[in-house]
Chains A and B, each alone.
Chain A
């Protein structure tokens, strides 16, 4: 797949290349440096977004066509280092070391060179054919920072190209540079660390050279000194003597510095980075000597203000939800009437099996379309705009304290807010949490967030027939319940919680391509998980209907529905159907009663209880599948069971309390 020129050490200028060679290159770099924008600029619309094989880490790849060459571009996850062993870091490291891409493009932020070069230096340890794109040079200039890219190139010994990816500037030069690099595959020079460290690397290198290892020798030596678990294991199998020698050398370094060897190595790399940066940048002092307040500083004075900050969070999230549902409801009605002209929308329960199945499948498709296009898509679009602008990180900071009480931290607001759109992408986005415990806790709480389908039920039953304040009351109750359940789960679920450490990027105008891509990545998971579940599930339910299982099931559930929840016996089946898709509860009710005027058959208390139970019991089939794929079936079923019991319990109590209050 990659590497037409297999010889890694080909001298430059060696022109033995095949005309229509296919190359594979990778983009690597920190988060928030414009890597995604660069990726979009290089590949256009030809993108595949999926997972790394066997890993819960997103993988994006696209095709770059240039001068008749077809170049595959892999967008590696945005990371800061190779040393904390997160999944993203391991995926990136092993991709570069083991898959030998023909070129690695390191996108770095001109405004934060030190931290970006810290990562570049680690990339150089892996010695791939490397090229650096210094991005956002315009933003750096605005801050009075100018970067001498030619000098940077000389000091690092690799090509450096200045770009403003968002405006497409420098992308042509970058593309030419990529092709040149992929054709030549030069090995970048070695950057030396301090004497104490270099001496010890030097002692290990000759011992590692004879081994057959997939990683570069110098990189292996450094990682052995850092006691990297996977490298230690690999070398241990071939020559345990080297591992113990490296361990002893590491202990020497620790004795000299009084710090763990990994921290010493980070400091060494920063030393190199600082030295380079001092030579390549010029910082212009502001004219009047007083640093001007940047736009970010001024916006943050409001966004992070002890009072206005919280007000802003409330208004923004509230506005986002209200806007989505006000506009969404109109589009949804429109779509539904459009689609019902193609095919009658009422369930068919007589006639041939094929017709029944088709009708069920079609209604599932309609339901999917009328939920996703009007509600979820605009919601995620706006959310992506907020995310790319940098405001979402401010919400995370403001709500960090509250999230602590749930064993989470500020970053968890992202999956929780996503949950109001659809729980499926929200569960996927719990990957941003650091510890396994926090991932699980966040996903559990996400499944208690009323998604658009549940909102349709709440607004359709309670908002319409009982009153909008009762509907909003259900939302408020849901938030209180999440806090309560979250606090309990925090204590019950084993594992550790880590505190927030998050970069605060400057605000900027969102990039259309990044926003669209992010929206698509999230909506796509709906199409893969939700649509099939909707279509297959709806078809099955139709059959269920047709073969007359309705009454037996209702009777079976009667003790719960009638005695405990105080609902009519026919509601039993609607709750079963709701497992497939939540808004099916309301549709089935309409069919069973033969009208959409539910007030004729149900009391206000019953309407509230149905909405409440629908809001809380099991997310839905698609979410159960996603939870299983992220956390395993055991966890998925545990969460489902807890929620069913909780929903029924709370529903019954609500029935009794509300009956007292509302008569």
Chain B
């Protein structure tokens, strides 16, 4: 198994097991878009390397070692996303895939440098938390002292708080930053007025992750929760209406 593949598997198990405890073979297969048979094979090989605990029919969970690798990759992935989006201004809908490819190749030094340059961001552009590094430092200046770099941090690179529209408080405003998802869904949303830069607010969220009611251009739309989670808004100007 190639290192990149190992990391992809660990990442997938990390994501799935995060909610379920153990990651089922079928769920991993679906996540990585591979056949369940190859997943079983890969899990056995990962178990031999002592990266996962694998029980047939129950699924796989990460060992301490496996979890450490997965968390490192996740952190690199999200840092890269912030870098690509905020510094290089690459379209936010594309940064995920791009970061997916880069995360396996960068070194720890690059990771640290990115973190310092970006001022230790708390969240990736899609709103997921970025885990703090394992160095046990309290701030970036302590980090400098440890790693011996004295470069100044660019101020104000991260201008925006980009969050899914579902994270807006009722009546908080935001402007559409980007929309991810199936192109037909994106098309329908933009036809209904959710174009980039448009001001929106959440009127109401239905209980139990039900549809979200969004106000846009003087109309109200009920949008499926899963679709709404992929509508990202810039909430920095978010004054309460």
Annotate A389-407 by CB proximity to B: 1 below 8 A, 0 otherwise. Answer: 0000100111011000000
Encoded as 1 (CB less than 8 Å from any B CB) or 0, chain A from 138 to 175 comes to: 00000001000000000000000000000000000000
| A629 CB within 8 Å of chain B | no
Q: Is the CB of A270 within 8 A of B193?
A: yes
Contacts A267-B190, A397-B222: A498 and B185 contacting too (C-beta < 8 A)?
Answer: yes
Among B190, B193, B207, B217, residue most surrounded by chain A Cβ atoms (within 10 Å): B190
- Among B2-10, B99-107, B208-216, the one that faces the other chain is B208-216
How many interface residues does A have (CB within 8 Å)? Answer: 38
Residue A549 CB within 8 A of the other chain: no
* B187 contacts A410, C-beta separation under 8 Å: no
- Once bound together, how far apart are the Cα atoms of A498 and B189, in whole Å? 13
Interface residues of B in 64-119 (CB under 8 A from A): 90-91, 93-94
- Asked if A499 is at the interface of the complex by the 8 Å CB criterion, the answer is yes
Whether the Cβ atoms of A499 and B185 lie closer than 8 Å is: yes
Bound together, the chains give a CA A270 to CA B189 distance in angstroms of 12
- Whether A115 contacts B213 by the Cβ 8 Å rule is no
Q: Tell whether, in the assembled complex, residue A259 and residue B224 are in contact, meaning their CB atoms are under 8 Å apart.
A: no
User: Given A84-B184, A401-B210, A504-B213 in contact, is the A263-B222 Cβ separation under 8 Å?
Assistant: no
Q: Pick the contact of A500 from B217, B218, B223 — CB < 8 Å?
A: B223
Contact A304:B204 (CB < 8 A) given known A260-B183, A410-B211: yes
Any B CB within 8 A of the CB of A351 = no
Q: Contacts A259-B91, A400-B206, A401-B210 given: A118-B191 contact, CB under 8 Å?
A: yes
Structural contact, B222 and A504, CB atoms closer than 8 A:
yes
Q: Is A300 engaged at the interface, CB distance under 8 Å to the other chain?
A: yes
Q: How far is the CB of A39 from chain B (nearest CB, A)?
A: 22
Shortest Cβ gap from B104 to chain A (Å): 25
Inside 8 A of B226's CB, which chain A residues have their CB?
499
User: Is A501 touching B219 in the complex (CB atoms < 8 A)?
Assistant: no
Residues on the B chain within 8 Å of A262, using CB:
183, 187, 190
Residues in A with CB closer than 8 Å to B206 are: 304, 306, 397-398, 400-401
- A86 CB to closest chain B CB (Å) equals 9
* Residue numbers in A under 8 Å from B209 (CB-CB): 401
Instruction: Tell me whether A46 is interfacial, beta carbon within 8 Å.
Output: no
C-beta contact mask, A77-121 vs B, less than 8 Å → 1, else 0? 000110110000000000000000000000000011111001000
CA distance A400 to B212 in the complex (A): 11
Specify which chain B residues have a CB less than 8 angstroms from the CB of A118 in the assembled complex: 191, 193
Shortest distance from the beta carbon of B236 to any chain A beta carbon, whole Å: 21
| Cβ of A258 under 8 Å from chain B | yes
Known contacts A80-B191, A266-B195, A501-B221; A398/B210 CB under 8 A: yes
B90 to chain A, nearest CB (A): 8
Q: Is the CB of A266 within 8 A of B190?
A: yes
Contact with B along A484-508 (1 / 0, CB 8 A): 0000000000000011111110000
Known: A304-B206, A398-B206. A499 touches B192 (CB 8 A): no
Q: Which residue of A lies closest to B198 (CB)?
A: A270
The A296-333 residues at the B interface (CB cut-off 8 A) are 300, 304, 306
CA distance A259 to B180 in the complex (A): 11
Q: Which A residues touch B189, using CB under 8 A?
A: 501
Question: A397-B213, A409-B224 in contact; A260/B186 too (CB < 8 A)?
Answer: yes
**Interface flag for B58 (CB, 8 Å):** no
A115 and B208 form a contact (CB under 8 A)? no
Q: Say how far B202's CB is from chain A's closest CB, in angstroms.
A: 13
A81, A111, A266, A503 interface centre (most CB from chain B within 10 Å): A266
Question: Whose C-beta in chain B lies nearest to the C-beta of A404?
Answer: B224
Q: How far is the CA of A358 from the CA of B137 in the complex (A)?
A: 94
| Pair A503/B211 contact, Cβ less than 8 Å | no
Q: Are A504 and B220 in contact (CB under 8 A)?
A: yes
**Structural contact, A84 and B210, CB atoms closer than 8 A:** no
Instruction: Flag if A500 contacts B213 (CB, 8 Å).
Output: no
Q: How far is the CA of A306 from the CA of B210 in the complex (A)?
A: 10
Q: Is the CB of B193 within 8 A of A259?
A: no
B168-190: which have CB < 8 Å to A? Answer: 183-190
Specify which chain A residues have a CB less than 8 angstroms from the CB of B191 in the assembled complex.
Answer: 80-81, 83-84, 118, 266
A499-B227, A504-B213 in contact; A115/B193 too (CB < 8 A)? yes
B32 interfacial contact with A, CB 8 Å = no
Question: A80-B192, A114-B217, A397-B213 known; A502 and B187 CB under 8 Å?
Answer: no
| B196 adjacent to chain A (CB < 8 Å) | yes
Please judge, given known A-B contacts A263-B187, A304-B204, whether A397 and B210 are in contact too, CB under 8 Å. Answer: yes
B219 touches A112 (CB 8 A): yes
Check A503/B193 contact, CB under 8 A, given A266-B187, A398-B206: no
A-B pairs with the 10 shortest C-beta distances?
Answer: A499-B224, A258-B91, A81-B191, A306-B207, A266-B190, A504-B220, A114-B217, A267-B195, A500-B224, A112-B219
Q: List 24 A-B contacts (CB under 8 A).
A: A83-B191, A84-B184, A112-B217, A112-B219, A115-B219, A258-B93, A258-B94, A263-B186, A263-B187, A304-B213, A306-B206, A306-B207, A400-B206, A400-B210, A410-B211, A410-B222, A499-B223, A499-B224, A499-B226, A500-B223, A500-B224, A503-B192, A504-B213, A504-B221
Other A-B pairs beyond A113-B218, A409-B224, A502-B211, 4, CB < 8 Å = A81-B188, A83-B187, A83-B191, A501-B185
Residues of B with Cβ closer than 8 Å to A? 90-91, 93-94, 183-193, 195-196, 198, 204, 206-211, 213, 217-224, 226-227, 241
